[in-house]
Amino acid sequence: MTEAWIIKIDKNLCTCCGLCMEICISDVLKENEDIMGVSAPSRCILCGHCKAVCPENAIELRGLDPDEFEPAPEKTSLFSPDRLQTFFRSRRSLRKYKNRPVEKETIEKIIEAGRFAPTGGNRQPVEHVVVHTPKMMETVLEITVETLADMAVHVKKKYEQEKKNGTRLSVRSMREKFYADLWLKIKEQHEKGVDKLFYHAPVLIVSHVNSAMATTQGVDAGIASAHMVLMAEALGLGTCFCGFFVLVVEQNRKLKQMLKIPEKNRTHLSFMAGYPDVNFLRLTGRNRAKVTWL
């Protein structure tokens, strides 16, 4: 049986310039007399660097759409550094959304932005769940709020017991107590029809990773999510990360099953998205960066 190929080099196009071999991080390619050869195809991670630098476009990679390897524009034709920095600073966490659904085509563009994010070893292990129907958003919100409230009761009991025992309260205990009070307040507001968790956003995107596939799970999911929220911004949407929801998904097995997240996968990030119902007039301000120069 012929072994399935991973990388092919067109002998009619290859000039044996060696650029692909120089850029390959896995030592997949070798130099022959008149054409580049493939010495270790099993080591190929399909990063596409070899195809991207080939002047003759002589390389084909299995499973990757050749049309996606379109000519790269000059860097100077894209954002200038100052304009890009301004764009970064224009994104704020949005907690006031219009009562308007987000088109599926728009959500797909957001997901596509995450697809092109770099991942460790190019394993591309990040998967997503998109909650976008009003009924499903309401169901997920209800379960999340109830789970947070149950967690709050447990935390407060633990906190009170530590106080009763005269245990010196740690920073972690005090932080958990603060969140427990907040979770109960979220439930109280929810019962009044006020959503202080998802803020009535029409879309929730959840990113999860197969733990066995990735060694940099949180990093991979984080970079993909950064790409996605910036694309959402470019599409005229606003976004807000929701760490409490991630905590709940990993605590509530029924919710995880409802979202069709495999048991072996860990949820790392989630964010709401929707059309803004507020107009921010100024860019963000932040504390100075903490940097050590060596």
Closest CA to 46 of 124, 117, 115, 128: 124
Q: From CA 110, how far away is CA 173, in angstroms rounded?
A: 38
Whether 13 is in a domain gets the answer: yes
Give pTM, 2 decimals. 0.91
Q: What is the pLDDT of residue 169?
A: 64
Bridging pattern class, strands 265-274 and 238-241 = antiparallel
Q: What is the pLDDT of residue 2?
A: 45
Q: From CA 64, how far away is CA 48, in angstroms rounded?
A: 9
Block means of pLDDT (10 residues each) for the chain, length 294 residues? 75 93 93 86 93 95 93 87 94 97 98 96 96 98 97 86 73 82 96 98 97 91 98 98 96 96 96 97 95 98
Q: From CA 183, how far away is CA 148, in angstroms rounded?
A: 6
Residue-number span of the structural domain to which 29 is assigned? 7-68
Whether 181 is in a domain gets the answer: yes
Q: H or E element: which one contains 245?
A: helix 243-251
Are 144 and 17 found together in one domain?
A: no
- Distance between terminal CA atoms of the chain? 56
Are 61 and 163 found together in one domain?
A: no
Whether 76 is in a domain gets the answer: no
Whether 203 is in a domain gets the answer: yes
Are 215 and 173 found together in one domain?
A: yes
Q: H or E element: which one contains 130?
A: strand 126-131
Q: What is the pLDDT of residue 75?
A: 84
Are 26 and 147 found together in one domain?
A: no
Alpha-carbon separation of residue 177 from 171, 180, 182 (angstroms) = 10, 5, 9
Q: From CA 24, how far away is CA 47, in angstroms rounded?
A: 9
Per the structure, the count of domains in the chain is: 2
